[in-house]
Chains A and B, each alone.
Chain A
Amino acid sequence: MTSRAAAYLGKDLLGLDELTREQILAILDTAEPFKEISERPIKKVPVLRGKTIVNAFFENSTRTRISFEFAEKRLSADTVNFAAGGSSVSKGETLVDTARNLEAMRIDMVVIRHPSSGAARFLGQRIASNVVNAGDGKHEHPTQALLDMLTIRDHLGRLDGVRVCIVGDILHSRVARSNIWGLLKVGAEVGVCGPATLLPPEVRELGVTVFQRIEEAIEWADALNILRLQLERMQGGFVPSLREYNRIFGVTQARLESAPRDLLILHPGPMNRGVEIDSAVADGPHSVILEQVTNGVAVRMAVLYLLAGGEPEKAEAAKGGHP
C-alpha cells in the first residue's frame, strides 16, 4: 500500500530523473484503479470538476495530446487546447508571456509539449499552476515512460530485476531517457541497442548495458521497447538507409524466434512498420503496443489526480478520512 507522503509529487511533473522510487511506484499504483474508470458505462469521475487544464503543444503530437485530453475529461476537468501553429507564438510571443496570459485567465494546470529541453521546468518556475511535461526536446517524456513501466509490470508482475532493452535512436530520444532513469530507480536492468551513431557515449555511465547487435539484446532481455526511427535521422547522416537499418536493427519474427524466452514487445508509436519493427511482431501475440495506449490514459489520470493535491501537511490533518 502506497503511503500518502509518497504520493506527494510536488507542484510539477517534469521528469523521472527527479522522482524517487516511491513516487514512481505511487503513480503506477494510483494508475491501477483508474484503468477501470475507462471501462465504465459513464467514463467519468468528478474528482477534477472545476479545474481548468491547458494543453499547450508547441510541437506536433496526436497520441500524447489525445491521451492527456481523455485523461482530463475522464476526471471532469475543463480543457483548452493550444497549438503553436496559428497562435501568438508564431507572432513572436515568448513562452513565458504565453503562459502568463493563459494564467491570467485563471487556469489550474498546464500540460506542455515543447521542442526545447527544459521548457517544462522553465515554465514551472514561472507560473503558479501545476506543470506536466508532455515531452521537452531531447530531455524527458515522463508519462510515456510511466505507461511503459505500468505495461511491463502488468505483464511480468514486477519491475524489480526485469531486463528491458530500449532499441533504436537513444541519442535523440526523450522516451529513452525517461525510461532509463525510471526503470533504474525501480530496480530494473536496462539495456540499449542501436547504431553507434545513435547511442550517446555517456549512456554507460548511467549503469546501462550497451548492445551493438540486436541478436544479443534479444538474447538478454525480458522486454524490448522499440523506438521509432525518425525519418529525419537519415537526412542527418546517422543511418545510411531505412532498409539497412531494418536489416541490422529491425525486430523481426525470425530474430525473436531465436530468443531463449518470449519477449514482451513495446513501442511508443507511431510505428514505422518494416523499419524498426516488422508487422508480424507488432501484431504478434507478445505485442502490448495497444495496451500501452490504454494504460497511457490511466497513467495520465493518475498524474493529474496526484498533482492536483496540495501540501503533505494538509493530508495529516485529514487523516482518518471521512466516515
Chain B
Amino acid sequence: MITVIGGIEHKGFGTGAWALVAEDGTTYELLDCPRDLREVGLHVKVQGTLNDDVMTLAMIGKVLNVNSFEIL
C-alpha cells in the first residue's frame, strides 16, 4: 500500500486516460478511475497499491489501484 499526494490530470492517449501526477513528478495511471476523482486539477491524497500485472494502452506510468482517497 502506498500513499500519493498530487494532482489529477487527463492525458490525451486513445480516448483519454486519468492520471495522478505526484508532487515528485511521478505519473501514475488511474485505470478504472473512481468517478469522484475524474476532475482535472483536483489536489488529492490517494491510498492504493501498484499493479505490476497490468498493461495499458495509455502507457503513461505505473497503474495505481485506488483503495481510498481524500480530496485536499
Tell me if chain B binds chain A. Answer: no
Query: Which residues of A does B touch, CB under 8 Å?
Result: none
